[in-house]
């Protein structure tokens, strides 16, 4: 696969080496369905220079404005951040950055808590074990494929025991809404995706956003693309990917990872693997090897799934029922959707 170094709307993948503001200028207005990124936190990591908070926020505002410009009307921006730390005092960056998105008129849909089990042990405050993803949409008419990212129901076989629906499954057989608290291991030294980058996204974190917030062939942009985790998640699911990264070495690793994925050699942690639980150590799901030329196993199983609720259309936009609620778990209007992952099907559908 050709990895272009400058943007063109027909590129399947663009990786630009350099400053994101220069790169974003190459992208036409309203062309991306999703901008998903984790910017530097201004905490003096090896790839950034710590500046005053005001300078950092002004710079972020410039980048966010450009991201807003390239975003389609039905598109989303997901900004993943942790804390800015100064003299042991923490300033949550999502709180500091929210006014910037708000001034642009973006609509906050979720403040997702990404919870992970490992990190530094603090002596003078409780150890930090979460970061947040601010998910904004440009308008009220946005893509939201909930069925693509459902997770297993806790009690999939539970049925109504009285009333008109007695004997029918009481929960959505496609699985449940994954909620706004996501338990996903961060990329530490023993993670199958670990590279030399100090703050990589786990691919599965981006996969959920890509699947829920875009459709096939849509463009996904990451202005701080690091070692290409967003691009990999996008390409795996047949979206176009574009990113910029200022450190050449990270771009080289991103290119190698994409090539490995093309050659069926890139290993990632599968979305369907549960977080390790010593009590349940048999629930191990091995790393998944990506081959960009093959449809993912989960996608070839997209055939209609038996759904006791109703019809069959795939949800591409956030559908709102006349009753005011969104189509979703347990709602009578929910369609059979795309079926999602083995974990959804396997556990959710067993009678």
Ligand X SMILES: C[S@@+](CC[C@H](N)C(=O)[O-])C[C@H]1O[C@@H](n2cnc3c(N)ncnc32)[C@H](O)[C@@H]1O
Which chain residues interact with ligand X by CB under 6 A?
A: 19-20, 38, 40, 47-48, 197, 199-201, 224, 226-227, 229, 244-247, 250
48 versus 299: smaller Cβ distance to ligand X: 48
| Nearest residue to ligand X on Cβ basis | 226
20 versus 318: smaller Cβ distance to ligand X: 20
94 versus 147: smaller Cβ distance to ligand X: 94
20 versus 78: smaller Cβ distance to ligand X: 20
- SS3 annotation, the chain: CCCECCCCCCCCEEEEECCHHHHHCCCCCCCEEEEEECCCCCCCCCCCCCCCHHHHHHHHHHHHHHHHHHEEEEEEEEEEECEEEECCEEEEHHHHHHHHHHHCCCEEEEEEEEECCCCCCCCCCCCCCEEEEEEEECCCCCECCHHHHCECCCCCCCECCCCCCCCCECCCCCCECCCCEEECCCCCCCCCCCCCCCCCCCHHHHHHHHHHHCCCCCEEEECCCCCCHHHHHHHHCCCEEEEEECCHHHHHHHHHHHHHHHCCCEEECCCCCCCCCHHHCCCCCCCEEECCCCCCHHHHCCCCCCCCCCCCCCCCECCECCCCCECCCCCCCCCCCCCCCHHHHHHHHCC
**Could you tell me the smallest distance in angstroms from the CB atom of residue 154 to ligand X?**
31
**Could you tell me the smallest distance in angstroms from the CB atom of residue 22 to ligand X?**
8
Q: Which residues contact 169 (CB under 8 A, 6 or more apart)?
A: 156, 157, 158, 159, 308
**Could you tell me the smallest distance in angstroms from the CB atom of residue 198 to ligand X?**
8
240 versus 338: smaller Cβ distance to ligand X: 240
**Could you tell me the smallest distance in angstroms from the CB atom of residue 199 to ligand X?**
4
**Could you tell me the smallest distance in angstroms from the CB atom of residue 317 to ligand X?**
27
203 versus 292: smaller Cβ distance to ligand X: 203
142 versus 201: smaller Cβ distance to ligand X: 201
């Amino acid at each position: 696969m050709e990895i272009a170094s400058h943007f063109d709307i027909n590129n399947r993948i663009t990786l630009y080496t350099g400053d994101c503001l220069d790169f974003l200028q190459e992208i036409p207005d309203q062309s991306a369905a999703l901008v998903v990124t984790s910017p530097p936190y201004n905490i003096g990591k090896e790839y950034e220079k710590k500046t005053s908070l005001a300078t950092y926020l002004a710079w972020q505002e410039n980048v966010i404005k450009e991201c807003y410009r390239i975003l389609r009307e039905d598109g989303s921006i997901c900004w993943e951040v942790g804390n800015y730390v100064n003299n042991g005092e923490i300033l949550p960056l999502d709180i500091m950055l929210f006014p910037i998105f708000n001034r642009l008129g973006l609509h906050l849909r979720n403040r997702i808590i990404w919870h992970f089990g490992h990190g530094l042990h603090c002596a003078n405050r409780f150890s930090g074990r979460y970061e947040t993803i601010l998910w904004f949409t440009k308008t009220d008419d946005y893509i939201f494929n909930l069925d693509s990212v459902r997770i297993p129901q806790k009690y999939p076989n539970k049925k109504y025991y009285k009333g008109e629906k007695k004997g029918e499954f009481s929960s959505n057989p496609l699985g449940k809404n994954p909620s706004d608290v996501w338990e996903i291991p961060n990329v530490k030294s023993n993670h199958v995706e670990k590279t030399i980058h100090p703050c990589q996204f786990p691919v599965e974190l981006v996969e959920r956003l890509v699947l829920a917030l875009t459709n096939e062939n849509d463009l996904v942009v990451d202005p701080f693309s690091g070692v290409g985790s967003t691009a990999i998640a996008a390409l795996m699911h047949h979206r176009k990917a574009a990113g910029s990264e200022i450190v050449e070495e990270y771009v080289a690793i991103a290119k190698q990872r994409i090539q490995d994925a093309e050659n069926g050699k890139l290993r990632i942690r599968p979305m369907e693997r549960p977080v390790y639980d010593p009590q349940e150590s048999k629930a191990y799901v091995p790393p998944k090897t990506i081959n960009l030329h093959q449809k993912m196993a989960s996608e070839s199983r997209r055939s209609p799934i038996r759904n006791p609720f109703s019809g069959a259309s795939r949800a591409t936009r956030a559908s709102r029922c006349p009753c005011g609620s969104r189509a979703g778990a347990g709602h009578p209007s929910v369609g059979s959707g795309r079926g999602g992952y083995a974990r959804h099907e396997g556990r959710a559908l067993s009678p």
